[in-house]
């Protein structure tokens, strides 16, 4: 029998398995070539795996593994050609790694290709040396066998891939069916031409219909609960068929068992030659989602109302607490300007410091409440960080002097540089850090330094560094010091006072400016805080940044203040006394109105007498008529009503209150409690400005 015929018979024998065919082909090769070992190998990297083998006494088996570099086959695989070693002892000799591993003394092999890729080798060998070299005919036989075996391997690999894909497809179909059932999804199909509607079993189950039910379009319409939804569904479905565009709709249905459900249906038209011939789709039970959304909306409304109530409560609390503090501080300030003996002055100083501490605590609590409620607002105005720092220094210089500490401030690097930021929030950072440093330092110095580095796109990396020689903070406490209501040690609040909110507030402000706070400290060795901020540059440098009450007036005619027509609109009798006394100290006098309505009436009377007020200090929260409404009424009184300066004097410290006041037509905003100095700066500033404006005839 010829070799070709033998190969053909083996390959076409449908009764033979893949392994049996490879065995027959290898056996044929051993007979033709006179070599008793025949192996088909797969080589990947340095891994040599036996695919099939015919060897004496079955010494090599399928799936045996060897190190490829220690075989002769690696030579054929790398050469991608025939390798013939008729006498291994002569060549390649004992130096080859395979010589000591296997007793082979003649070897004949070629690289094997499967689906166009180098796969491994077909090799034949013997433990005996050949006397003659391998002939050209034997090389042809080897290549022919390799070709046939490569075809069988390709066929087997393709078959395995198909079987694997079929198994995967079966698994996916099963999984898809399980998912659709678990998700409450059912598929359907409508033949537009015949109007035949087909529902999957899962959809029938979803609607409580028996499997034997023949579903029609009327069946679908009958389960839609509301007439309006039924009409809208019919109209929408006709549009989908006409346009050939996908559609989605939700509706409430009643199942065969009388159960009410919400479903969502997705429709996809199949278009042929410009016409919709079929519509396929999927319907899903969305009852839980609909009810969850309803519940979520209800909870959201409740939460929004709660936040609104919380904001109102905080605003009221701010007003109610700050109003009496304003009275206490104002009266103490007035008292200290009278003739007191040393003991009385000492008592008054103690009371003033207590009032200031109380105000600091109230400010911290209100600020943190706003942060916690997500209501902390930030201005974006040009601001000089150097001016912000310097405006706070006098307040701390006295405290440092009283404790015998050196207070060193270095803002040279930010002189003449302006940033876009909120001056109030930057002040809070400086105040909280300096306050802590001075509070916990008993000797030595406290230093504040500001550094900045220009970045790309008009931004600056700004550092505010506050260091001290104080008591220091342990490693354990450094991990909790930025948490609200926690201080460095358990007895800190009792010993030094405070709420434990300062650093928490600083952290939130710093995070707003894409920065972070770094802390380095050790017990007894002092503390160093480094605040990193990313701030935008203000291209246009502006002066007089901040509120008028923060501006220093260098030249002012005090007689102008003494002769000014001033009206105070304030419902609290204690605050009336405080403001009147503060104005008296400034050399000014004022009329008093007990509420907004009375204030508007006094303004009208003054205009009628041609003695209009020049400045009004307007409380915002009052009975009968509030300050916002009163301001709007005054602005409606013509030119005299528009020219009078109206300054909000309110106990509500929320940023939103300031915007509300300015939007209503007020010229400035001062938060209670306010000292006589700040009040004086504000009044002088606006009187000086109004003197520069042309007056109405």
User: Is residue 697 over pLDDT 60?
Assistant: no
For the segment 199-230, what is each residue's pLDDT rounded down to a tens digit?
Answer: 988 888 888 899 889 999 888 899 999 999 89
For the segment 675-695, what is each residue's pLDDT rounded down to a tens digit?
Answer: 777 888 889 888 888 776 555
For the segment 9-33, what is each residue's pLDDT rounded down to a tens digit?
Answer: 887 888 899 899 999 999 999 999 9
Report the pLDDT value the prediction gives residue 497, as an integer from 0 to 100.
42
CA-to-CA distance for 685 and 270, rounded, in angstroms? Answer: 77
Query: Does the domain at residues 3-161 carry the CATH identifier 3.40.50.300?
Result: no
- Under the banding of pLDDT at 50, 70 and 90, the label for residue 543 is very low
Quote the radius of gyration of the chain (alpha carbons, Å): 46
Look at 134-143, 161-170, 279-288, 564-573 and tell me which has the smallest mean pLDDT: 161-170
CA-to-CA distance for 76 and 84, rounded, in angstroms? Answer: 9
Q: Which two tokens stand for residue 315?
A: 């605003």
CA-to-CA distance for 674 and 43, rounded, in angstroms? Answer: 88
Please confirm whether the linkage preceding 530 is cis (ω < 30° from 0): no
Higher pLDDT, 251 or 354: 251
Report the pLDDT value the prediction gives residue 275, as an integer from 0 to 100.
92
Q: What stretch(es) of the chain map to CATH 3.30.450.20?
A: 183-285
DSSP 8-state assignment for residue 57: G
Percent of the chain with pLDDT over 90: 41
- Under the banding of pLDDT at 50, 70 and 90, the label for residue 615 is very high
CA-to-CA distance for 697 and 691, rounded, in angstroms? Answer: 15
Which has the closest alpha carbon to 547: 640, 642, 661?
661
SS3 at position 12: helix
User: Is residue 549 over pLDDT 50?
Assistant: no
The overall pTM is greater than 0.85: no
Helices (H) and strands (E) counted in the chain, each on its own, are: 22, 23
Report the pLDDT value the prediction gives residue 488, as an integer from 0 to 100.
43
Query: At CB < 8 A and 24+ separation, what contacts does 406-409 make?
Result: 406/444, 406/445, 406/446, 407/438, 407/445, 407/446, 407/447, 407/448, 408/445, 408/446, 408/447, 408/448, 409/447, 409/448, 409/449
In this prediction, residues 543-570 reach a mean pLDDT of 69
For the segment 420-464, what is each residue's pLDDT rounded down to a tens digit?
Answer: 998 878 888 888 899 889 989 999 999 999 999 998 878 899 999
SS3 at position 685: helix
- Under the banding of pLDDT at 50, 70 and 90, the label for residue 696 is low
The helix or strand, by DSSP H or E, that contains position 352, with its residue range, turns out to be helix 342-372
Return the CATH number of 551-691, one of 3.40.50.2300, 3.40.50.261, 3.30.390.50, 2.40.50.140: 3.40.50.2300
Question: CA angle at residue 150 from 149 to 154, to 5 degrees?
Answer: 115
User: Is residue 60 over pLDDT 60?
Assistant: yes
- Under the banding of pLDDT at 50, 70 and 90, the label for residue 640 is confident
Cβ neighbours for 307, distance < 8 A, ≥ 6 positions apart: 373, 375
Topology given in CATH for the domain delimited by 183-285: Beta-Lactamase (3.30.450)
Return the CATH number of the domain spanning residue range 377-546. Answer: 3.30.565.10
Burial tier of 203 (Cβ tally within 10 Å: 0-12, 13-18, 19+)? buried
Percent of the chain with pLDDT over 70: 85
Which has the closest alpha carbon to 291: 321, 316, 261?
261
Q: What stretch(es) of the chain map to CATH 3.30.565.10?
A: 377-546
- Under the banding of pLDDT at 50, 70 and 90, the label for residue 37 is very high
User: Is residue 539 over pLDDT 70?
Assistant: no
Which of 25-39, 388-402, 411-425, 555-569 tops mean pLDDT? 25-39
Higher pLDDT, 347 or 603: 603
Phi, psi of 659 (to 5 degrees): -65, -40
Question: CA angle at residue 390 from 387 to 391, to 5 degrees?
Answer: 85
Please confirm whether the linkage preceding 92 is cis (ω < 30° from 0): yes
Report the pLDDT value the prediction gives residue 546, as an integer from 0 to 100.
40
User: Is residue 611 over pLDDT 80?
Assistant: yes
For the segment 371-395, what is each residue's pLDDT rounded down to a tens digit?
Answer: 555 556 777 888 888 888 887 787 7
In this prediction, residues 530-552 reach a mean pLDDT of 63
User: Is residue 40 over pLDDT 60?
Assistant: yes
Look at 150-154, 270-274, 285-289 and tell me which has the smallest mean pLDDT: 285-289
Cβ neighbours for 136, distance < 8 A, ≥ 6 positions apart: none
Q: What stretch(es) of the chain map to CATH 3.30.450.40?
A: 3-161
For the segment 467-522, what is each residue's pLDDT rounded down to a tens digit?
Answer: 999 999 888 888 777 765 444 444 444 344 444 567 887 888 899 899 999 999 98
Higher pLDDT, 639 or 170: 639
Report the pLDDT value the prediction gives residue 559, as an integer from 0 to 100.
85
Report the pLDDT value the prediction gives residue 513, as an integer from 0 to 100.
92
């Amino acid at each position: 029998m010829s070799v070709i015929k033998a190969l053909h018979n083996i390959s076409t024998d449908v009764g033979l398995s893949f392994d049996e065919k490879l065995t027959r082909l290898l056996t044929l090769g051993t007979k033709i070539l006179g070599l008793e070992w025949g192996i088909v190998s797969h080589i990947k990297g340095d891994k040599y795996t036996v695919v099939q083998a015919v060897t004496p006494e079955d010494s090599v088996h399928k799936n045996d593994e060897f190190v490829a570099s220690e075989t002769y086959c690696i030579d054929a695989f790398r050469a991608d050609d025939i390798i013939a070693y008729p006498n291994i002892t002569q060549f390649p000799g004992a130096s080859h790694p395979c010589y000591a591993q296997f007793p082979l003394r003649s070897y004949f092999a070629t690289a094997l290709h499967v689906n166009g890729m180098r796969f491994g080798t077909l090799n034949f060998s013997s433990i005996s040396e050949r006397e003659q070299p391998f002939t050209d005919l034997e090389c042809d036989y080897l290549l022919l066998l390799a070709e046939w075996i490569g075809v069988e391997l390709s066929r087997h690999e393709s078959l395995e891939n198909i079987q694997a894909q079929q198994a995967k497809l079966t698994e996916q179909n099963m999984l898809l069916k399980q998912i659709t059932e678990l998700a409450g999804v059912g598929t359907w199909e409508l033949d537009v031409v015949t109007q035949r509607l087909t529902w999957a079993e899962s959809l029938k189950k979803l609607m409580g219909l028996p499997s034997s039910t023949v579903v029609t379009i009327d069946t679908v319409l009958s389960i839609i609960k509301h007439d309006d939804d039924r009409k809208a569904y019919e109209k929408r479905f006709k549009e989908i068929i006409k346009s050939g565009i996908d559609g989605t709709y939700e509706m409430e249905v009643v199942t065969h068992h009388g159960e009410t459900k919400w479903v969502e249906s997705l429709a996809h038209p199949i278009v042929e030659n410009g016409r919709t011939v079929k519509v396929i789709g999927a319907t899903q039970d969305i009852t839980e989602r609909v009810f969850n959304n309803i519940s979520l909306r209800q909870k959201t409304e409740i939460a929004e109302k709660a936040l609104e109530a919380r904001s109102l409560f905080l605003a009221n609390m701010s007003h109610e607490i700050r109003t009496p503090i304003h009275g206490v501080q104002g009266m103490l300030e007035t008292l200290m300007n009278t003739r007191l003996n040393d003991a009385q002055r000492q008592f008054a100083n103690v009371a003033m410091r207590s009032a200031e501490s109380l105000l600091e605590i109230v400010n911290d609590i209100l600020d943190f409440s706003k942060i916690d409620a997500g209501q902390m607002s930030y201005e974006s105005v040009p601001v000089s960080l150097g001016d912000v720092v310097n405006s706070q220094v006098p307040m701390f210089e006295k405290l440092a002097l009283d404790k015998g500490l050196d207070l060193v401030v270095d803002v040279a690097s930010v002189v003449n540089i302006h940033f876009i930021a909120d001056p109030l929030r930057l002040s809070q950072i400086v105040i909280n850090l300096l306050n802590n440093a001075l509070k916990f330092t008993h000797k030595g110095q406290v230093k504040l330094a500001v550094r900045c580095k220009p970045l790309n796109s008009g931004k600056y990396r700004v550092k505010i560094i506050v260091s001290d020689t104080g008591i220091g903070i342990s490693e354990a406490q450094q991990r909790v010091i930025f948490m609200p209501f926690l201080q460095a040690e358990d007895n800190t609040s009792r010993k030094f006072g405070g709420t434990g909110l300062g650093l928490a507030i600083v952290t939130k402000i710093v995070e707003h400016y894409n920065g972070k706070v770094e802390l380095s400290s050790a017990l007894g060795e002092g503390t160093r805080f480094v605040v990193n901020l990313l701030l935008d540059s203000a291209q246009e440098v502006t002066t007089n940044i901040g509120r008028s009450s923060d501006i220093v007036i260098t030249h002012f005619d005090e007689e102008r203040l003494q002769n000014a027509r001033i009206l105070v609109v304030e419902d609290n009798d204690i605050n009336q006394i405080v403001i009147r006394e503060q104005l008296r100290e400034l050399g000014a006098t004022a009329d008093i109105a007990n509420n907004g309505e009375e204030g508007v009436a006094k303004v009208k009377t003054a205009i009628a007498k041609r003695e209009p007020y020049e400045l009004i200090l307007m409380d915002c929260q009052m009975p009968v008529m509030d300050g916002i409404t009163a301001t709007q009424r005054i602005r409606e009184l013509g030119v005299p009503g528009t020219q009078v300066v109206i300054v909000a004097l309110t106990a509500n410290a929320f940023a939103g209150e300031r915007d509300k006041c300015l939007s209503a037509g007020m010229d400035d905003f001062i938060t209670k409690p306010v000292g006589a100095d700040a009040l004086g700066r504000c009044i002088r500033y606006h009187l000086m400005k109004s003197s520069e404006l042309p007056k109405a005839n």
